[in-house]
Amino acid sequence: MTFTIARIETFVFRAAIANPVVTSFGSIPERVSVITRVEDSEGAHGWGDVWCNFPSYGAEHRALVLARSIAPMAIGQRIEDPASLWRELTARSHILAVQSGDVGPFAAALAGLDTALWDLKARREKRPLFRLLGGTSGRIDIYASGLNPSDGPETVERTRQEGYRAFKQKIGFSEQTDVANLRRIRATMRAGEKLMVDVNMGWTVEEALRMAPILQEFDLDWVEEPILADRPEAEWRALVHAYKAPLAGGENLRGQELLQAASDTWLGVIQPDVGKWGGISGCLAVGQAAVEAEKRYCPHWLSGGIGLMASAHLLAAAGGAGRLEVDCNPNPLRTLLAQPFPTLTDGAFQLTEAPGIGVEPDLTAAKQYQVAHHETA
């Protein structure tokens, strides 16, 4: 079944929050989202999400990259396989990304467009995206992410009451703060619950090696990005031998590096971001490679609802023993941009049989947060 791209819209949203999301490298003072709507010549449509959460002031720029550079290349293209167009546009826009130095924004814009095209294709075929991609079960395990250093233990208790059974605490601030939070959380954990940590690339390899024996007592399910993602492979391999828990990463890798990481031995948990690189086309290949290598594929996502649901369908399609990251911090854009939002039951989401990614943004309710809109036809 083929279709022709006739219209591409891009929306930018900003929502103020009372408490910033804190990481070892900085804080996120507001929630932002860049989503794209692709419509074909027969009026069918699909939605995609462009990564833009940090720095949040980059949202408008990424929207313009999609609207002014990528969308004109896509309009009029006749599509049977969205992955083919993703590869073609990646090649055609490469010179622009190199000339501008905007490799990340171009990759994110292409990822958002790719996701929208897959959603459109699945809607046209009247199938949920995960089934179109080869998945058989719509039940996916999830975990609570974004636990800040100031209230991590309290957030664990709140999210446990909401139905979460796995939790990821942000660390990398100070040994005293990190250990105190982890001890409080571990003391309250129940049978079957899991605890992970995310350092957000906050340590040098020497610091990570020093912290390895200290973290052993917490029986961690994984240790995420203890060092910079682009550090030499030898440093990552040194940490593999030092840590009992598997190392996790992938959100800050792209292309061949990410595909290699999915099949190599230094990462045990693979976490590509559907809105940052690859969209559905690229991330599905990474997820499948990870599962084939007997690793866990756990999609990274910390933004609005469209990307979260695309990530959920990717996980359901790839299979394996992975979990979906769900940012548990207040964010009106998460639910407003993905209606009906799935219900959490005993640590899992159950995807419906609705076509595509199964949700629509409530643009009327979200209008109060909209700060930009672009259209290419």
Q: What is the DSSP string of 117-137?
A: HHHHHHHHTTSBHHHHTT---
Residue 280 inside a domain? The answer is yes
Closest by Cα among 75, 70, 98, 139 to 279: 70
* CATH, residue 66: 3.30.390.10
The verdict on 208 and 290 lying in the same domain is: yes
The verdict on 78 and 138 lying in the same domain is: no
Query: What whole-number distance in Å separates Cα of residue 335 and Cα of residue 92?
Result: 35
Residue 117: give the domain boundaries. Answer: 3-127+363-376
The verdict on 346 and 368 lying in the same domain is: no
Q: Looking at residue 21, what is its pLDDT? A: 74
Q: Looking at residue 54, what is its pLDDT? A: 84
Residue 92 inside a domain? The answer is yes
Amino acid found at 72: P
Query: What whole-number distance in Å separates Cα of residue 41 and Cα of residue 150?
Result: 51
Look up residue 232 and give its two tokens: 């030499």
Q: Looking at residue 136, what is its pLDDT? A: 95
Q: Looking at residue 55, what is its pLDDT? A: 87
Q: Looking at residue 299, what is its pLDDT? A: 97
The verdict on 68 and 183 lying in the same domain is: no
Q: What is the DSSP string of 241-252?
A: HH-SSPEEE-TT
Residue 48 inside a domain? The answer is yes
The verdict on 270 and 189 lying in the same domain is: yes
Residue 371 inside a domain? The answer is yes
Question: What's phi and psi for 62, nearest 5 deg?
Answer: -65, -35
Q: Per DSSP, what are the bridge partners of residue 11?
A: 35, 373
User: What's this model's pTM, rounded to 2 decimal places?
Assistant: 0.96
Specify burial of residue 341 (Cβ count, 10 A radius: 0-12, 13-18, 19+). middle
What sign has the CA pseudo-torsion 323, 334, 224, 218?
negative
Question: How do the pLDDT tens digits run along the chain, 377 residues long?
Answer: 899 999 999 999 999 887 777 776 767 788 999 999 999 999 999 999 999 988 889 999 999 999 999 999 999 999 999 999 999 999 999 999 999 999 999 999 999 999 999 999 999 999 999 999 999 999 999 999 989 999 999 999 999 999 999 999 999 999 999 999 999 999 999 999 999 999 999 999 999 999 999 999 999 999 999 999 999 999 999 999 999 999 999 999 999 999 888 988 899 999 999 999 999 999 999 999 999 999 999 999 988 999 999 999 999 999 999 999 999 888 999 999 999 999 999 999 999 999 999 999 999 999 999 999 999 99
The residue written with tokens 């896509």 in the block is 74
Closest by Cα among 60, 36, 146 to 371: 60
The verdict on 83 and 173 lying in the same domain is: no
Q: Looking at residue 342, what is its pLDDT? A: 94
**How many CB atoms within 10 Å of residue 76?**
10
The domain total for the chain is 2
The verdict on 173 and 218 lying in the same domain is: yes
**How many CB atoms within 10 Å of residue 223?**
27
Residue 358 inside a domain? The answer is no
The verdict on 150 and 277 lying in the same domain is: yes
Q: What is the DSSP string of 291-324?
A: HHTT-EE--B--S-HHHHHHHHHHHHHH-SS--E
Specify burial of residue 374 (Cβ count, 10 A radius: 0-12, 13-18, 19+). middle
